[in-house]
Structure 1
Amino acid sequence: MGLPAAAGVLVVVLAWLAGPGLFGIAGDGAGAPVQAEVTQPAACSAGNPVESVTFSLGGKPRQGTLNGCGHAKGERVEVGVPVDAPADGPITVSAADTSAGAQDARGPIALVLLVFACFSGGMYAFLVIRGSGKLALLH
């Protein structure tokens, strides 16, 4: 019984040390939110709609593409500009409210579910070992 419990504790500790990247929750590299203006809206009925936006980055006006739809021409939206944005040319931006990163409840919930899965696996191993030694499903 000690071996399954130790294996479960080891898995949980390794998952804790790996951090939020293990669960696919790592930040997306978006910088600070920037106010942008929609210059060419896209209809939501189109497949993979992309809108054109303009914003100021480093005191210079810049053009960008926003993967979204439903905004009106001239509407102000908050976008997240990537930290490694190119010095010239259009920049692909994302809506700022969808770029929260790992500062939400997904990490702790994923870790709790992992602990529950380890506990369940350990209990199953315990019941199999404690039983008659044979699996009842193999009869």
Structure 2
Amino acid sequence: MRIWGVLIPPDYLRLAAAGTGVVVLGVLIAVLVDTVGLLGTSEEDEGSTARATVVTGVPCDRAGAPETVAFKAGGKDHRVRFDGCGHAEGEPVEVTVPPGPLNDDLLVHAADATVGDTKDGEGLGLLLLVLSSTAGAGYAFLLRPTRHPT
């Protein structure tokens, strides 16, 4: 076949079509992975933030001893455990209040604390997935059959 006046062997065209198919398949898989959420990130409700006041502070040398904070949510005052240390009594802190009913055995976290996977690296993961499929297509092109002149 001739493309712009250049003779292209049929084997090259088949390999180019296969390589293009691998890249397109990689993009489709990346879209599927993002849609299904297989990268481990989720859009679930992580709660709301509230302004709390430290009722009992705990020094940081006592591992596992939570502080106690008080805040208002739903028009009611709540006193719950706070997963933090080193705060002074009466110090204001921002906490993340989980969705659902609030009971006295609740443990809240600092609003600016990271608690698990985020969506920050998801785009990079999808890009790397597509690049790996492109690399696979390039490798398939390198393994093309060669014709030796006889």
- When normalised by structure 2's length, the TM-score is 0.67
2:23 equivalent to 1:5 = yes
2:122 maps to 107
1:130 aligned residue (130, 136, 144) = 144
The structure that has the greater radius of gyration is 2
Q: Which has the higher helix share?
A: 1
- Deviation sequence 1:8-56 (CA, Å, 0-9, x none): 12321212322xx432232463322111111122222333342211111
CA drift at 1:71: 1.5
CA drift at 1:62: 0.5
Q: Percent identity?
A: 35
Change over 3 Å in CA distance of 1:64–1:29 after alignment to 2? farther
Tell whether the 8 Å contact from 1:79 to 1:93 is kept in structure 2 after alignment.
yes
- Runs of 5+ unmatched residues, structure 1: 133-139
C-alpha distance in 1 between matches for 2:105 and 2:79: 5
Change over 3 Å in CA distance of 1:16–1:38 after alignment to 2? same
- Runs of 5+ unmatched residues, structure 2: 1-14
Change over 3 Å in CA distance of 1:85–1:95 after alignment to 2? farther
Change over 3 Å in CA distance of 1:6–1:99 after alignment to 2? same
Secondary structure in structure 2 of the residue aligned to 1:33: strand
Tell whether the 8 Å contact from 2:46 to 2:98 is kept in structure 1 after alignment.
yes
- When normalised by structure 1's length, the TM-score is 0.71
1:136 maps to none
2:38 equivalent to 1:22 = yes
CA drift at 1:120: 2.8
Change over 3 Å in CA distance of 1:131–1:72 after alignment to 2? farther
37-46 vs 112-121, which deviates more? 112-121
2:56 maps to 40
C-alpha distance in 1 between matches for 2:108 and 2:55: 14
Change over 3 Å in CA distance of 1:71–1:46 after alignment to 2? same
Tell whether the 8 Å contact from 2:58 to 2:86 is kept in structure 1 after alignment.
yes
Change over 3 Å in CA distance of 1:98–1:114 after alignment to 2? farther
RMSD of aligned alpha carbons: 2.9
**Number of residues of Structure 1 aligned to a counterpart in Structure 2:** 128
2:85 equivalent to 1:69 = yes
